[in-house]
Structure 1
Amino acid sequence: MEIQFYGANRYVTGSCTLVTGNGKKILIDCGLPQGNDAKVGGLQLPFNAKDIDYLLLTHAHIDHSGRIPLLIKDGFRGTIFATEATKELCSIMLADSAHIQESEAQWQNRKAKRSGQPIIEPLYTVNDAYQSLSRFETIEYEEKRTIGEGIAIRYQDAGHLLGSALIELWLTEGSETRKLVFSGDIGNLDQPLIKDPVYITEADFVIMESTYGNRNHAPLIDEEGDPITSLHRAKELAAIIQRTFDRGGNVIIPAFSVGRTQELLYLLRIIIEEGLCSETVPVFVDSPLSVKATKVFAGNLYGYMDEETMALVNAGINPILFEGLTPVVDVEDSIALNHRKESCVIISSSGMCEAGRIKHHLKHNLWRRECTVIFSGYQAAGTLGRSIYDGARHVTIFGDQIDIRCEITELHGTSSHADQQGLIKWLSSFKGGIQRVFVVHGDEEIAPWFASYVQRQLNRDAYAPHFGERFDLLAVESIPIAEPITLTEMPYMKDLASALEALHKGENAFSKVLARIKQAAEHTTDEKRSVRLANATRRLASDLEDLAKKWNSDAS
């Protein structure tokens, strides 16, 4: 009875874990690595797909499902278990991912022909994606099902995405039984549309995510101590839209096509219905996948949505559709958006700005001071979105260097991942002894730190495995535990301390610059010198104004 880790191990994307028990090989998720994560284990599968008997899929996001067509291409002929909603979302997401793989291969091959390089094949094709759908078998929440001798599973609501699941797995070999719980992605509390995550009380081994294991989201209560509602979040978004429209700019929102786009539409519906902006708010969803996914969300409600959403449905109100919403499918219509004279809100994918139409919208709007880019989801290291979010002065898009002059901000309270408090609350629900907590789906610094934090806070043995590590679940004494790590020992905290020291030195230097400018102004009578000094001072004042706007959002 073994477990081996093949993805999202001390990084975030590409979730993939292999469990062997009673002669069967069971894969939990088969995600596609993104950004720098692909450099760790590569894009190809690190095992023989023909040997896999079952795939247990937690949810449809590509970082958990994106290599399923490759699994099929490489010979997998087993069963894929997933909720009905996950299957429906995968039917559009995997085909879209395959289309991207084919398009990127075509683009690279055009370059290869010109330079005499060998031709490459796409990772998988649209046909591979469609073939994978025949392997799906649906399972409902709370249904315990025996899928093989000595192997049983049960799916519970993870509260992360429509149809997302926590997976309970029971393995029996002879007289030995072990229960494993896979968290998938644990949802944040009080999200629009979907329910909160289910809490589980028993397990021998817990394999849990740690995306936000080192920090907490903004408080879920306001200054008066009242819970933050969807109306609160809508007002925050409305304020950003209003100040951008007042400047005559566009609001660009990179968003994951499935989940985040629909949550944003929920908030925008509230803005429109409540009149939270002083003018009409044209909203464009510019992503064929997002448009398809929105249709799934608009129709697949019962059994997945929270009470607030179901109350709207029962009153005859579609929670994510509203007047002024325009879906954009055709390329020509997408191009036309960047020639509009009127301000608008454009929601486009991909959420990390690595591909898709969002790159075109960023190219046309990043350099415009009057515009705003709003991030509402996690940005993995090495992605274009992460570079913009981290404050890059310019980025390269389609071979062109683009200056970043627009407002960059973040919409708080919309993360679909539980924060540190949420993760600890979920793990604290387990009673009795857990033999080991395996911490996955967290950055290289965060996952081991969170494993250490779990040991300190909950007195649970925890470990953040490396890619490829394998452990015998019947010999727990051979499984490592986390090394003690304090927050101040984290490399990024040391880097922050160094940066603050540099800032202090810069503050002193800047004070001297201001003093010299004032002194020069007091002693200048020459016209040309006065004009040059005035222009330089205005440029400095403008740069400071831009910096102040940026830090109104970044410093939080």
Structure 2
Amino acid sequence: MEIQFLGPLGKVTGSCAWMRDTARNWSFLVDCGIQQSEATAKSWNAGDHWPFEPRDLKFVLLTHAHVDHCGLIPELYKRGFSGTVYCTKETEELATLLLKDAASFPDTPYTLEDVGSVRWHTPNGDTRFGDYHPVDDDLFIRFFPSGHIIGSTSITVLWGPPGGDQRSIVFSGDIGPGSKDHEVLPLLCSSQHPAPANFAVLESTYGDKNRCVEQRSPEARRNRLRALLDRVLESNGTAAITAFAVGRTQDIMFDLHHIVANAPDQYGAIDFVLDSPSALAVNDITLRALRKTQTVQHTGKTFSTWLGKQLFRELDLDHKNAGDVRSALAICEMVLGADRVAATRILSGNPVARAWRPLFRVAEDRNEEIRQTGNRPRVVLMTSGMGDGGPAAHWLPSLARHPRNLIAPSGYCAPSSACGKFLGVMNSSPGDRALRHDEVRWTQPNGDHIASLPVAEIKAEVRLLDGYSAHGDQSDLVNWLFHTFKEETDQVMAPTVFLQHGEDRQRRALEDALLQRADDWGLDVDILKPHEPDAWHDLEHAANTTVGREEHDRIRRQIRALQNQLSTM
């Protein structure tokens, strides 16, 4: 077995790894995503330089539904692939939704018909974490939750007859923030450590970043959101929160419900509006997922498949009590059901749980809603995340012109995006903004004009709502690879690790952090940063075939010692 990393190497979008064993006629992909805003995006997304022949692939393994991981799968079918895409049921549902949306863009090479050709398959009909699923003779896969979005997993590939000679490689997919009992986001369970393997492929999106305690604190995150509500009450204006439809919208909806349930007399007068048809569909998928459970066959223990324990801790509910579980799910339904779900009286848990009520109504007439400015304090949660399209392209040009309103992007926005330009004047006074000569432009995917706004006319306050990233930082990535078992045995996921899905700066920083942890724990780990997308890596042997293990470790220790000396000088 060998592997070729087609992407992303030194990039953060376009995940795709090609594995093959010519002797056993195995050829398959792990993810096949589009590149976004990369120099090579046009060539890669066109599929003109793929080194594999789609019709020769047996199957595709998909870690999760974001289009930078799944966005070119319909193009595989268009070019002759006829195999199966293995993933969780939730990933299938989300990916289908996102791929249909992508098919409407003029630069997408495939059509809705091609999306309909995808042959999705969840082994056993639903996800059972850790189970061995045969996909060919002596070829198996295993799924483990990665804590990134609903349905996201790490995937282990195992080949050879079961036993001591069987080989394996685990793909992290995208790792979410936090860990068991230290979750960052409000709904989803944290990542789970896959079983040890011979090799690991680890993403490095935020490999050079360690978030501070405040950025990882749910209470601090809600305090920032609470301050936004206070501002809306004071100004009697509208707060426009832009968010991605998958994951972030659901998390913000939960936090807003939590804040209002904690102080209903203070915030009960605010009008909460959801304007995102795509988020409504994602909400339904999320609710179905949060209701799911799994039972461990040899112990009979039942646990939630996707819903994390943090919700139970926050609301003083018992995740082992059937009545409290029903209360937790009723709370999730009130959060995500918008105006389609009636209030449910919660009788257990703390006062916040018992005060929980549905908040959001769905925007029915967007144009009329936009005209209703200043009538009452209002929060509008809308897509897209960076403000370039969707409902945000209609709301923002109007709301941004009035000083009583507030624009609040909910995470990183590219500087060239609409919300990136708003954030660029976040700390500028009205006088400084008035001196600007640039503008914010909104267009349809086909290039047709929607609206434009001179930056000099931005009168609304701008705030960044951070703390909602679904990506783990450096500490999360290190802790995913290194972990301590209950018997206090320190262990590394795999002795050989490939770093991808990150710019070179992030890969280098993560490499240093991983090697430092290995030294601290007295473990031997080889960290490889592939650079050439046409290079094959042998998975039948250890990565260190040209240098003896002892010599390799001696050199690495010398390098670390010299680095430590430099840091103290």
> In structure 1, what is the equivalent of residue 326 of structure 2?
314
Q: 1:141-290, aligned counterparts within 5 Å? A: 141-172=129-160, 177-189=166-178, 190=183, 191-219=185-213, 228-229=217-218, 232-275=220-263, 277-290=266-279
> In structure 2, what is the equivalent of residue 542 of structure 1?
none
Amino acid at match of 2:358: E
Pairwise CA distance, 1:240: 1.4
Q: How big is each residue's C-alpha offset from its partner over 1:327-352, in whole Å with a ceiling of 9 and x where there is no partner?
A: 24x6xx23333212244222222223
Whole-angstrom CA distance in 1 between matches of 2:387 and 2:498: 30
Amino acid at match of 2:251: E
> Is 1:77–1:135's contact at 8 Å kept on the other side of the alignment?
no
Q: How big is each residue's C-alpha offset from its partner over 1:402-451, in whole Å with a ceiling of 9 and x where there is no partner?
A: 31553333333322111111111111128268443222222343233323
> In structure 1, what is the equivalent of residue 32 of structure 2?
30
> In structure 1, what is the equivalent of residue 12 of structure 2?
12
> Is 2:275–2:382's contact at 8 Å kept on the other side of the alignment?
yes
Amino acid at match of 1:77: S
Whole-angstrom CA distance in 2 between matches of 1:132 and 1:95: 11
> In structure 1, what is the equivalent of residue 117 of structure 2?
131
Q: 1:323-338, aligned counterparts within 5 Å? A: 323-328=358-363, 333-338=365-370
> Is 1:88–1:296's contact at 8 Å kept on the other side of the alignment?
yes
Between stretches 289-298 and 211-220, larger displacement belongs to 211-220
> Is 2:138–2:160's contact at 8 Å kept on the other side of the alignment?
yes
> Is 1:58–1:164's contact at 8 Å kept on the other side of the alignment?
yes
Whole-angstrom CA distance in 2 between matches of 1:267 and 1:89: 22
Q: 1:433 to 1:318 in 2, by over 3 A?
A: closer
SS at match of 1:338: helix
> In structure 2, what is the equivalent of residue 454 of structure 1?
514
Q: 1:470-485, aligned counterparts within 5 Å? A: 470-473=535-538, 474=540, 476-477=543-544
Q: 1:278 to 1:42 in 2, by over 3 A?
A: same
| Structure (1/2) with the larger helix percentage | 1
What TM-score, normalized by structure 2, do the two folds share? 0.72
Pairwise CA distance, 1:249: 3.3
Counterpart check, 1:352 vs 2:394: no
Number of residue pairs the alignment of both structures matches: 459
Q: 2:288 aligns with which of 292, 299, 319?
A: 299
Q: 2:462 aligns with which of 401, 408, 415?
A: 408
Q: How big is each residue's C-alpha offset from its partner over 1:196-230, in whole Å with a ceiling of 9 and x where there is no partner?
A: 11123512221111222112223169xxxxx944x
SS at match of 1:213: coil
> Is 1:251–1:346's contact at 8 Å kept on the other side of the alignment?
yes
Q: How big is each residue's C-alpha offset from its partner over 1:84-114, in whole Å with a ceiling of 9 and x where there is no partner?
A: 2222222322222223x2xx36xxxxxxxxx
Counterpart check, 1:339 vs 2:393: no
Q: How big is each residue's C-alpha offset from its partner over 1:523-551, in whole Å with a ceiling of 9 and x where there is no partner?
A: xxxxxxxxxxxxxxxxxxxxxxxxxxxxx
> Is 1:217–1:413's contact at 8 Å kept on the other side of the alignment?
no
Whole-angstrom CA distance in 2 between matches of 1:433 and 1:292: 36
> Is 2:229–2:267's contact at 8 Å kept on the other side of the alignment?
no
Q: 2:55 aligns with which of 43, 50, 53?
A: 50
> Is 1:192–1:266's contact at 8 Å kept on the other side of the alignment?
yes
Whole-angstrom CA distance in 1 between matches of 2:546 and 2:11: 20
Q: 1:349 to 1:31 in 2, by over 3 A?
A: farther
Pairwise CA distance, 1:370: 3.3
Pairwise CA distance, 1:157: 0.9
> Is 1:367–1:402's contact at 8 Å kept on the other side of the alignment?
no
Between stretches 262-271 and 470-479, larger displacement belongs to 470-479
Pairwise CA distance, 1:261: 0.9
SS at match of 1:445: helix
What TM-score, normalized by structure 1, do the two folds share? 0.74
> Is 1:10–1:448's contact at 8 Å kept on the other side of the alignment?
no
Q: 1:52 to 1:352 in 2, by over 3 A?
A: farther
Whole-angstrom CA distance in 1 between matches of 2:463 and 2:134: 48
Pairwise CA distance, 1:326: 1.8
Pairwise CA distance, 1:285: 2.1
Between stretches 262-271 and 314-323, larger displacement belongs to 314-323
SS at match of 1:238: helix
Amino acid at match of 2:361: T
> In structure 2, what is the equivalent of residue 545 of structure 1?
none
Whole-angstrom CA distance in 2 between matches of 1:340 and 1:162: 35
Amino acid at match of 1:409: R
> Is 2:77–2:117's contact at 8 Å kept on the other side of the alignment?
yes
Q: Alignment RMSD, CA only?
A: 3.4
> Is 2:187–2:310's contact at 8 Å kept on the other side of the alignment?
yes
Pairwise CA distance, 1:40: 7.4
**What is the percent sequence identity of the aligned residues?**
27
Whole-angstrom CA distance in 1 between matches of 2:411 and 2:138: 39
Pairwise CA distance, 1:390: 5.1
SS at match of 2:366: helix
SS at match of 1:152: strand
Amino acid at match of 2:270: V
